Amino acid sequence: MSFDTLGLSAELLRAVADQGYSEPTPVQSKAIPVILQGRDILAGAQTGTGKTAGFTLPLLQCLSTRPQQHPGRRPVRALILTPTRELAAQVAESVNTYGRHLPLTSTVIFGGVKINPQIQKLRRGVDILVATPGRLLDHVSQKTLDLSAVEILVLDEADRMLDMGFLPDIRRILALLPQQRQNLLFSATYSDDIRRLADKLLDAPVQIEVARRNTPAELVSQVIHPVDRERKRELLSFMVGAENWRQVLVFTRTKHGANRLSGQLEKDGISSAAIHGNKSQGARTRALADFKRGEVRVLVATDIAARGLDIDQLPHVVNYELPNVAEDYVHRIGRTGRAGNEGQAVSLVCVDEHQLLGGIERLLKRDLPKVVIPGYEPDPSIRAEPILRRSNVRAGAKSKPRNGSGQQQGRRSGGNGGASAGSRSGGSAGHGQPKGAPGANRSRTFSGKPRRRPAA
């Protein structure tokens, strides 16, 4: 199958060709025709399968072919919500890339940066808005944003938004949208919480799933290296040097741990940078750019910060510490093995993490290979120590959303989105690949639950 067979316009096909793509990925070939028909959709695809273009391309076509319902002004017609700044920026880049030949405007808003430049762009009018929930609500509170004309709503990485406690914010946003609209839910995994949200939000959705639930990319080789907790950094430095790894993404559980490890690697002579929620947006952008250019060999990140990192042909991912949530392991190793490229996922596991490893293997339904590196054999006399766990904020929880530092956030301020839920860092986006009207006779209550509108 080629993009020519999906019903996309000449302008979009030209933009796709400009990127060197000719064949759609499975999620794109299944999702694009359905979205063009105006249907609601629930799509699950593992990270790196091109799901961002799977909704970006048909969204652009729908807006460009539908008549403007509000002549004389340029309201937001499509809203794309993402959980993190990096993912928002990645999606906005995809919108710009594939919409370059269309007369549509777009912008992205997220926390951690000044709000006034965003206000100026919104005042000029945009067709497509990419946003994090917290910063979007900041604009709503300042009356700088009108969502009453939204025709298409996209929830990207919906599972992560629920995991991060965004459900109350999502409900507030739904109440601001017109009752008649098209809804698209894209998620790396199908959790039970996602299915419950879909039941309330979507109207007769088409369900698309191109990979088994919670499965890692097939092109990623995985290995476990048992090692004592105090020798992990030494082993990591050894592997980076001995294997001459030039680009490695390393995961830690905490921001403090990321900073400490990055500094230790620098002392070992390995160029490194840390990226997490306490870093300013400018610092995170610079660190990622240096990593992509090869000026930094090791990028140390927390789970939240990594959501949205789309690095072409990233060869190595290292779990310096296993995640507390097994599903996060899948998201982590999904940073490599993207777009048909092979990748390697290495996990350094100490005695404290055997229970976490068991949870991951149960999720994957298989045992991962264990290889002891000579000279780094674990000491069997070392006893396991408890791992401090930060309780996850699940959908529907009564506690407030947490910010990137794991602290409960207080009242939002309109100017500093860094303290808002939408200012969290991290995400996954598609690898850049990529007529119908919104579903008719459909309206929604405050909670987002669909109801049938009486016949006229």
The CATH number that applies at residue 148 is: 3.40.50.300
Q: Is the domain of 53 the same as that of 137?
A: yes
pTM higher than 0.85: no
Q: Is the domain of 226 the same as that of 160?
A: no
Contact 387, 269 (CB under 8 A): no
Query: Could you tell me the CA-to-CA distances from 180 to 6, 55, 77, 421, 424 in Å, in that order?
Result: 26, 19, 12, 27, 30
Residues 437, 119: Cα–Cα separation, whole Å: 30
Which amino acid appears at position 250 of this protein? V
Residues 84, 385: Cα–Cα separation, whole Å: 32
Q: Is the domain of 58 the same as that of 178?
A: yes
In a domain, 437, yes or no: yes
Residues 95, 43: Cα–Cα separation, whole Å: 19
Residues 441, 422: Cα–Cα separation, whole Å: 32
Q: Is the domain of 242 the same as that of 310?
A: yes
Residues 143, 133: Cα–Cα separation, whole Å: 15
Q: In this structure, what are the phi and psi dihedrals at residue 371, rounded to the nearest 5 degrees? A: -130, 120
In a domain, 151, yes or no: yes
Q: Is the domain of 155 the same as that of 254?
A: no
Residues 407, 358: Cα–Cα separation, whole Å: 28
Q: What crossing angle do the helices spanning 10-18 and 85-98 adopt, rounded to 10°?
A: 120
Q: Is the domain of 327 the same as that of 448?
A: no
Q: Is the domain of 132 the same as that of 239?
A: no
Query: Could you tell me the CA-to-CA distances from 194 to 162, 198, 451 in Å, in that order?
Result: 8, 6, 20
Contact 417, 110 (CB under 8 A): yes
pLDDT of residue 247: 93
Name the domain count of the chain. Answer: 2
Q: Where are the beta strands (DSSP E) in 176-330?
A: 182-187, 206-209, 220-226, 248-251, 272-275, 298-301, 316-319
Q: Is the domain of 33 the same as that of 118?
A: yes
Q: Is the domain of 109 the same as that of 179?
A: yes
Helix/strand/coil percent split, the chain, to 5: 35, 15, 45
Counted residue by residue, the chain has a size of 456
Taking Cα atoms as reference points, which of 116, 84, 144, 100 lies closest to residue 307? Answer: 84
Which amino acid appears at position 303 of this protein? D
In a domain, 393, yes or no: no
Residues 295, 320: Cα–Cα separation, whole Å: 21
Look-up of token digits 């759609």: 24
pLDDT of residue 372: 97
CA angle 174, 176, 179 (to 5 degrees): 70
Task: Kindly state the tokens that stand for 385.
Answer: 């120590």
List the helix and strand counts (H, then E) for the chain: 15, 15
Count CA within 13 A, CB hemisphere, residue 214: 17
Domain holding 56, by residue range, is 3-213+425-452
Q: What crossing angle do the helices spanning 116-124 and 133-141 adopt, rounded to 10°?
A: 80
In a domain, 201, yes or no: yes
In a domain, 91, yes or no: yes
Question: How many angstroms separate the most distant Cα atoms in the chain?
Answer: 78
Residue 101 has a CB neighbour count (10 Å cut-off) of 16
Q: Is the domain of 235 the same as that of 343?
A: yes
In a domain, 345, yes or no: yes
Task: Kindly state the tokens that stand for 204.
Answer: 């007769």
Taking Cα atoms as reference points, which of 274, 297, 268, 277 lies closest to residue 287? Answer: 274
In a domain, 262, yes or no: yes
Look-up of token digits 């310096």: 320
pLDDT of residue 279: 81
Task: Kindly state the tokens that stand for 45.
Answer: 């695809």
Q: Is the domain of 239 the same as that of 164?
A: no
Going by their DSSP bridges, the two strands 450-452 and 442-444 should be labelled as: antiparallel
Residues 265, 417: Cα–Cα separation, whole Å: 32
Domain boundary at 333, 364, 395, which? 364
CA angle 161, 167, 172 (to 5 degrees): 120
Q: Is the domain of 73 the same as that of 113?
A: yes
3 state SS of 343: strand
Indicate the DSSP class of residue 178.
-
Residues 307, 332: Cα–Cα separation, whole Å: 8
Look-up of token digits 């952008």: 285
Domain boundary at 344, 364, 384, which? 364
Mean pLDDT, consecutive 10-residue segments, the chain of 456 residues? Answer: 90 92 89 95 77 93 82 84 88 94 95 92 94 95 94 90 86 93 85 80 88 61 96 96 93 93 95 86 84 92 71 86 87 74 90 95 92 96 82 36 36 34 36 39 38 36
Domain boundary at 312, 332, 364, which? 364
Taking Cα atoms as reference points, which of 170, 21, 212, 189 lies closest to residue 82? Answer: 170
In a domain, 389, yes or no: no
Residues 47, 334: Cα–Cα separation, whole Å: 6
Count CA within 13 A, CB hemisphere, residue 124: 11
